[in-house]
Amino acid sequence: RSIYKLEKEESIPDGMCIDTEGKLWVACYDGGRVIRLDPETGKRLQTVKLPVDKTTSCCFGGKDYSEMYVTSASDGMDKESLSRQPQAGGIFKV
């Protein structure tokens, strides 16, 4: 079933994961963010913006799963885009 319709600035859904509270996190490819959704109500609960556009996936780790790791891509980016986003293709800890 569909639980949420992405806003235009959220762009394309990519990798996803569920946190310890049962909420869904979605990496927004070309949206530069990860969003947290309540799968029961369909409401967006949180937005984490990143310094890169192409967020690809997310997962939780650390001793108590309080750290979120977000991957990103740099494929298809030209030199100008890469100069504006030098961290593209990196992994981020939130």
| Active site (annotated) includes residue 38 | no
Q: Are 47 and 28 in contact (CB under 8 A)?
A: no
Annotated binding residues, written as ranges, equal 14
Q: Give start and end residues of each alpha helix (H) in 1-94.
A: 79-84
For 7, the token pair is 């806003």
The Cα–Cα gap between 91 and 65 comes to 17
* Identity of residue 64: D
Name the binding residues for a divalent metal cation.
14
- The single residue of 14, 30, 53, 78 carrying the catalytic annotation is 14
Distance CA 69, CA 25 (A): 11
Residues known to be catalytic: 14
